Amino acid sequence: NAGFGHLRWSRKLTDYISREAFGQSQFDERIKIGYRGLLGTGPRFSLFVAGKQKLFWGILYMFEYNELNDGEGEAYFRDDRLSISLSAQLQLSPTLRVANTSYYQPVLSTLSEARLSSGTSVQLKINSHLSFVTTFNITYDARIAAEVGGVPKTIHRLTHRIRWVF
């Protein structure tokens, strides 16, 4: 019983700077998140672009709202965070693409309380419409583990999917 949605808007200001805004909604029964909502905005910097090889760095403000439930009690968090990201895209061949985005997201009032997460995907293009994608995500969040019983500090997920582009 889990769901995730993410919407991101980006506007290029110069050749090297874009402004981004995003919203995210999530629930995940396995890790006791009844609801998580995020809203954020800030600059994203293009560090390197050469054809399909790209490297970006972002530093955005983010408001986060969490409702956690372990079956015995509930916890609510409303936090102002930074969302610092490094994102790389590598086109290794005409049919093979690797992408990674890693985040460091400290709570602004308590910088020692930070979430670290990283997602890496490998996409193998089968033809002009069909691809096979494998994604590995890992997240470290000691705060949720401390507040809600039964949730580990480090959570990982491996997914495989077929992507159809039309």
24-79 confidence digits (pLDDT tens): 999 998 888 999 999 999 999 999 999 999 999 999 999 999 998 877 778 888 99
Are 20 and 44 in contact, with CB atoms under 8 Å apart? yes
Are 66 and 31 in contact, with CB atoms under 8 Å apart? no
Q: What is the predicted pLDDT for the residue at 132? A: 97
Q: What is the predicted pLDDT for the residue at 75? A: 83
Q: Lowest mean pLDDT: which of 5-9, 84-88, 107-111, 156-160?
A: 107-111
Q: What is the predicted pLDDT for the residue at 160? A: 97
Structure pTM? 0.89
Give the whole-angstrom CA distance, residue 56 versus residue 100. 11
Are 91 and 100 in contact, with CB atoms under 8 Å apart? no
Evaluated on CA atoms 47, 49, 55, 60, the torsion sign reads: positive
113-154 confidence digits (pLDDT tens): 899 999 999 999 999 999 999 999 999 998 888 878 788 899
